Amino acid sequence: MSIHLLPPEVASQIAAGEVVERPASVVKELLENALDAGARQITISIEGAGRRVVEVDDDGCGIPTDELAMSVARHATSKLFSADDLFSITTLGFRGEALASIGSVARMTITSRPAVQESGGRLRVEAGLSMPVELVGVPIGTSVRVEDLFYNVPARLKFLKAEVTERRQIDSLVTRYALAFPHVRFSLQQESRSALQTSGNGSRREVLASLYGVEIARKMVEVMAKDDSIAITGFISPPTLTRSTRREITFFINGRPVQDASLTAAVVQGYHSLLMVGRYPLAILFLELPPNAVDVNVHPTKAEVRFREPDRLFSAVQRAVRRVLMAYTPVPEITDQLRWSISPRQPDPAWQVNNEGDYPSSLTSGRIPSALNGIQTSAGTPSLPGSRTPLLRLIGQIALTYLVAEGPDGLYLIDQHAAHERVLYEKLMTQQAKAEHGSPGDKRENVIPSQSLLQPVAVEIPPANARLLNDQLPILAHLGFTVEPFGQATFLVRAVPALLAKLDPTAALRVLVEDFEEDETPLQTEIEARIIARICKRAAVKAGQVLSPEEQRALLTDLEACVSPRTCPHGRPTMIHLSVDLLERQFGRKGAR
Ligand code: ADP
Ligand code: MG
C-alpha cells in the first residue's frame, strides 16, 4: 500500500476513539460541558444503557446561535486561547474535542439558548456531518441529545460491556460528579426511572448516601485538611469498613475526577497497620491545588494528570488520612440491643419477649439468644476525644484470653493477643524509626537492639521461598535479626530482636516468607512494616495463655502507651467497651426501653 492521507471522516473516527470509548464517556463530556457552563441544574436521561440515547440538559450559559456550527468543529473551544493557558485551566474541558468526537460516532442534536437571545438554535450532526442550524423557541440553557452511539462504527459496538455494566458505570460517574459539585442539582434518569436525584443544597454526605447507601454514608469519616496551597476534603471509611480492591478510592483534583496510583497508595499508607492485609478503604477525596501545580493535559479523557510536586502531594494526602484516623478509631461499643429484646429488623418468633421483659420463651426450649448480636464491631459514633486508651484498672483475666479492666467510663474487655501484637508492633516500629534517623556513623546492622541466641538455630525453608528470604536478609539484619544462609535452603539464626527474645526463631523465619510472593513490589518501608507486623503476630501472647497479674498489668500499661491502641496491626479491634451508661440501661436503672 502506498502512503496516503486518511479521509477526514476516518481520521475523525480514530480521534474520537480516544475521547469516546463507551456511553459513560459521552455522559462525562456532556456533564463537564454543562458544569463549565455554570449550570445549577443538570438532567441526564439514558436509554438503552446509553447506546440508544444520552441526553444532558442544563440551565447554563448556553451557546450563541452563530457559534453553534463552530462548537462541533475539532479543536474548537471557548475555554483556552494559548498554550500558556494550559497551566491555569479552571474549566473541566479545554481540548475542544468532545462535541466533535461525539458527533462523528453518533447522531447528535444540540439545542441551546444564551440568556441574551430571544430564541435558541438547533444543530444536528450525523456521523460528523452538520446540517444547517435552525432557530427554535427554547428555555435558556443547553440540551445535547446523542442517539445511536457508534451506529457507524460497528467494531466499537462489539467492545461495549453488558448493559448492566454500562449503566453502573454511568451511575457511579454521575454520582461522583454530584459529590464534587454538591451545589448543583443533578437528576439522572435511567430508562425513565430516577437513578439519582440530588438537592443541590451543598451537602456532600447526602450525596454520599446515594452512592453507598445511608448506612455506609453515616459511617464515612470526614477529612478536612489544609496547608498553604493544598486543601484536602472528602470522606474516608473507618478501618472497619473495607473492600477487597482499591477501586473505591476516588480523587477529584480541582473538581476533575482523576485516577492516580500514587495518590491511591498514599491513602492506603494512611491506614497503615489499621487494615487487614488485602483489604482497602473507601475514599473520596477532593484536592484543591493551584491550577499551575497540575498538568491536566496528559490524557485525551483528562483522567490522568501530572503534578508539579508529586511527593509533597503524596505526603499531604497520607498525613490527612492518618490524622483523621488517629483521631477517630473508636472502641467498639456494645449497643442497647444487648437487652433481651428483639430488634424490629429480626422478627423471629423464637425471640418473642413479653412486655414485662421476661426471658424469651425460647430459653426454656434450649435456644439462647446470643449476646453477640448486640455487639457492633463496626465503628459507630466516634468516641472522641482522641484515640488513646484511658487509664485502666486491671480486674483480671477471663477465658485465658481476655483481660477485664475498669476505665473512667465503664468496663473494657481486652483481647490479650491482639493487644500484645499492637504493643510489640509499636515498640519495634519506634526502635526502627529511631534506627532510621540514627547518627550517620551508625552501622546499619543491629540498629535495633538484638539479642544473641545461646545456640544458633538452623531453620529449613521450602526451597521456593529460600530465595525470597535471601533477598530479605539485609532487611532482617536491619530489624535486629542475625540470619545467615547455611546450605541450599537452610538458614542459621544467631540473634533476634531483643524485644522478641521469647520468639521461636523457626516459626519467625517461616512466617516471613509465607505468601510474600504474591506481592507486587512493595516499598522498602512497607516491607519492613509488614515483616514487623507478621513477626509481632507470631511473638504475641496467644489466646489461652495464662498471664500472671504482673504480665496482665504490664500489657495494659504498654497498651496505654500505644499511639493506636484500639486495633491490632492487622486491623482487628483490641478492645470492647461497655460504658457505664450502657450498664445502667442493661440493669434497668435508667432510660429503659
Ligand atoms: P471543550 O469543552 O473542551 O471546550 P467541547 O467540544 O466539549 O470542547 O465543547 C466545545 C465548546 O462548545 C465549548 O468550549 C463551549 O463553548 C461550548 N459548549 C459545549 N457544551 C456547552 C454547554 N452545555 N453549555 C454552554 N456551552 C457549551
Ligand atoms: Mg467539553
- Residue 34 CA: nearest ligand 1 atom is 23
Residue 416's pLDDT band, with cuts at 50, 70 and 90, is very high
State pLDDT tens for residues 208-221: 887 787 778 888 88
What residue spans of 479-523 are helical by DSSP H? 505-513
Whether the predicted pLDDT of 540 surpasses 60: yes
User: Does residue 62 have its Cβ closer than 6 Å to ligand 1?
Assistant: yes
What is the mean pLDDT of the segment spanning 161-184?
90
Task: Judge whether 50 and 191 are in contact, CB under 8 Å.
Answer: no
- Is a pLDDT exceeding 60 seen at residue 95? yes
More confident: 448 or 417: 417
Query: Distance between CA 195 and CA 54 in Å, rounded?
Result: 14
The residue ranking higher by pLDDT, 252 or 462, is 252
Ligand 1 touching residue 302 (CB < 6 A): no
Report how far apart, in Å, the C-alpha atoms of 291 and of each of 98, 139, 215, 305, 311 are: 22, 34, 36, 12, 17
Query: Would you say 55 and 107 are in contact if contact means Cβ atoms under 8 Å apart?
Result: no
Q: Angle 310-328/261-270 helices, nearest 10 degrees?
A: 30
Q: What is the pLDDT of residue 367?
A: 31
- What is the C-alpha to C-alpha distance for residues 288 and 240, in angstroms, rounded to an integer? 28
Residue 350: pLDDT band (50, 70, 90) is very low
Question: What distance in angstroms lies between residue 33's CA and the mean position of ligand 2's atoms?
Answer: 5
Atom of ligand 1 nearest to the CA of 60: 24
Spell out the residues 6+ positions from residue 377 whose beta carbon is closer than 8 angstroms to its own: 240, 332, 573
Find out whether the beta carbon of 230 lies less than 6 Å from any atom of ligand 1.
no
Q: Which ligand is nearest to the CA of 101?
A: 1
The pLDDT of 531-544, averaged and rounded, is 84
130: its cell numbers = 452538520
Q: Say if ligand 1 is within 6 A of residue 77 CB.
A: yes
For residue 329, the model assigns a pLDDT of: 61
Strand partners, 184: none
Rounded Cα–Cα distance for residues 329 and 389 (Å): 11
CA of residue 127 to ligand 1 center, whole Å: 19
Q: Which of 121-125, 246-250, 397-401 has the highest mean pLDDT?
A: 121-125
* Measured distance between the N- and C-terminal CA atoms of the chain, rounded to whole angstroms: 85
Residue nearest to atom 21 of ligand 1 (CA): 33
Q: What is the pLDDT of residues 41-65, one digit of tens each?
A: 999 999 999 999 999 999 999 999 9
- The number of the ligand 1 atom at minimal distance from the alpha carbon of 76 is 10
Cα dihedral value 234, 209, 57, 145, nearest 10:
100
Task: Give residues with Cβ within 8 angstroms of 194, minimum separation 6.
Answer: 187, 188
Q: How far is the CA of 31 from the centre of ligand 2 (A)?
A: 8
What mean pLDDT is reported for the chain?
Answer: 81
Q: Which ligand is nearest to the CA of 77?
A: 1
Q: Is residue 285 helix, strand or coil?
A: strand
Task: Extract the runs of DSSP E, i.e. beta strands, from 208-302.
Answer: 221-226, 231-236, 249-253, 256-258, 283-288, 294-295
* Cα 304 to averaged position of ligand 1 atoms, centre (Å): 21
Of residues 374 and 248, more confidence is placed in: 248
* C-alpha distances in Å from residue 106, one per residue of 6, 33, 151, 326: 20, 18, 6, 51
Give the model confidence (pLDDT) of 547-589 as tens digits: 999 999 999 989 988 888 888 887 788 988 888 888 888 888 8
CA of 79 to the centre of ligand 1 (A): 8
- Does 34 contact ligand 1 (Cβ within 6 A)? yes
Q: Which ligand sits closest to the CA of 71?
A: 1
Poorest-confidence range of 74-78, 129-133, 352-356?
A: 352-356
CA distance 411 to 434: 35
Mutate to test the pocket of ligand 1, among 12, 44, 71 (most ligand atoms within 8 A of CB): 71
Which range in 26-40, 147-161, 309-323 is most confidently predicted, on average pLDDT? Answer: 26-40
- Strand-pairing partners, residue 497, are 450
The whole-number pLDDT of residue 129 equals 92
Summarised one tens digit per residue, pLDDT across range 394-409 is 999 998 899 999 987 8
In SS3 terms, 381-434 reads as CCCCCCCCCCCCEEEEEECCCEEEEEECCEEEEEEHHHHHHHHHHHHHHHHHHH
Q: 327-331, 423-427, 562-566: lowest mean pLDDT where? A: 327-331
540 lines ligand 1 (CB under 6 A): no
Cβ of 412 closer than 6 Å to ligand 1, yes or no, is no
92 CA closest ligand 1 atom index: 2
Distance 593 CA to ligand 1 centre (A): 59
Residue nearest to atom 1 of ligand 1 (CA): 96
pTM (2 d.p.): 0.60
- The pLDDT tens digits for 472-521 are 787 788 888 888 888 877 889 998 888 887 778 887 777 776 645 444 44
Hey, which of 27, 36, 146 would you mutate to test ligand 1's pocket, going by the most ligand atoms within 8 Å of its Cβ?
36
Banded model confidence at residue 172, pLDDT cuts 50, 70, 90: confident
pLDDT digits over 262-306, tens only? 999 999 999 988 888 788 999 999 999 998 888 887 877 777 888
pLDDT band per the 50, 70, 90 thresholds, residue 15: confident
Q: What are phi and psi of 577, to 5 degrees?
A: -120, 130
Helix axes 505-513, 524-539, angle to 10 degrees: 140
442 Ramachandran zone, left/alpha/beta (phi>0; psi -120 to 50): beta
Tell me, what amino acid is at 161? K
Q: Which protein residue's CA is at the shortest distance from atom 23 of ligand 1? A: 34
- Residues near ion ligand 2 (CB < 5 Å) are 33, 93, 98
Partners of 567 in beta bridges: 573
